[in-house]
Amino acid sequence: MQQMTEMLPETDVLPGPAGDCHQDIISLEGVTFSYQQQRVITGLNLSVRERDFIGLIGSNGAGKTTLLKMIVGLLRPESGVIRLFGEPVGQFKAWEKIGYVPQKNAFNPLFPATVREVVLSGLYGRNKLFRRITKSDHLKADDALHAMKIEDLADKRIGQLSGGQQQRAFLARALINNPSLLILDEPTVGIDAETQESFFHMIKHMHQHHNITFLMVSHDMEMIRTYLGLHQAAQSGKLKFYKKHSHDLQNCAQDDLTHSLRGLRQEMDSREEVVQVGDRY
Ligand SMILES: Nc1ncnc2c1ncn2[C@@H]1O[C@H](COP(=O)(O)OP(=O)(O)OP(=O)(O)O)[C@@H](O)[C@H]1O
């Protein structure tokens, strides 16, 4: 495969198209971060617009997870500003707008949570750990489970699922709040090639047909470039950014287009290609 560094422009900014009416979902201005004496990210500028799909690639230790942790407010930059949906991350409260799928975790088969409980936990948010689960919560979980075609696994222990099924459960958990932004941290590590392809097919569909912005860390350059069709790369230090805007939904006049879990569920149901992909799990 061609060396990616040869292709990357000397910039660390990902501007939106001229005249783009879509809002900034994530913006970083001059963000620098160090662990003790080790500088990991230096003066990073980044603009992720509504309906962008950003692929983030970098060698081990490049700072990918550190960047995601800063974006979701778990780490504070040494300098610079991070905004989510236009608000400084320290003041941001609408966390339900953001779905997060972590790196694959190997669950002990005896881990006590069921798939439904894992999916419902996506509703709890940062300050609502002990909220009562209502009937409407269960309906949202039903929609998320159905959209990911794992409703038949709802009562199984998460640790007893295959890697691909677990990833679907985590995607359902991330989707239960109807997020505007999905952040995926190497979502297919340790998953076989066929299941990876199904997973990417599903998120590609979600990006093309629904108003969801993606930021995804991946090691899979082939998937990023050929399959997802990301391009217009930029680079900052060892971090490399690939990008695509969702053209299906580019017309701003269509901004009221269905953006709901139920809409996604219906759309998934009506598309044979996606049904076939689901059947492969
Ligand atoms: N909590 C920590 N304390 C000190 N150094 C850390 C800490 N977490 C990460 N680092 C260091 O910061 C650098 C970036 O780490 P990070 O986890 O962000 O990289 P990454 O690009 O996600 O790597 P990988 O592909 O291996 O997951 C590495 O050199 C790592 O050793």
Task: Give the pTM.
Answer: 0.80
Q: Is the dihedral of CA 44, 231, 217, 22 positive or negative?
A: positive
Closest CA to 233 of 14, 2, 65: 14
**From CA 241, how far away is CA 243, in angstroms rounded?**
7
Give the residue, by CA position, lying nearest to ligand 1 atom 16: 63
Q: What is the ipTM of this complex?
A: 0.98
**From CA 240, how far away is CA 44, in angstroms rounded?**
11
Q: Strand pairing partners for 183?
A: 100, 215
Query: Is the distance from the beta carbon of residue 66 to the nearest atom of ligand 1 less than 6 Å?
Result: yes
**From CA 175, how far away is CA 90, in angstroms rounded?**
23
Q: What are the pLDDT tens digits along the chain (281 aa)?
A: 344 434 444 444 565 555 566 788 999 999 999 999 899 999 999 999 888 899 999 988 999 989 999 999 989 999 999 999 999 999 999 988 998 887 766 566 677 889 999 999 888 765 555 567 888 889 999 988 988 889 999 999 998 888 888 888 888 898 888 889 999 988 877 777 777 777 788 788 888 777 789 999 988 888 888 888 888 668 888 899 999 877 654 555 544 444 555 655 555 554 433 322 222 22
Give the residue, by CA position, lying nearest to ligand 1 atom 30: 61
Ligand 1 centroid – CA 34 distance (Å) = 10
Ligand 1 centroid – CA 114 distance (Å) = 31
Ligand 1 centroid – CA 65 distance (Å) = 7
All structural domains of the chain, each given as residue ranges with its CATH number in brackets, are 7-279 (3.40.50.300)
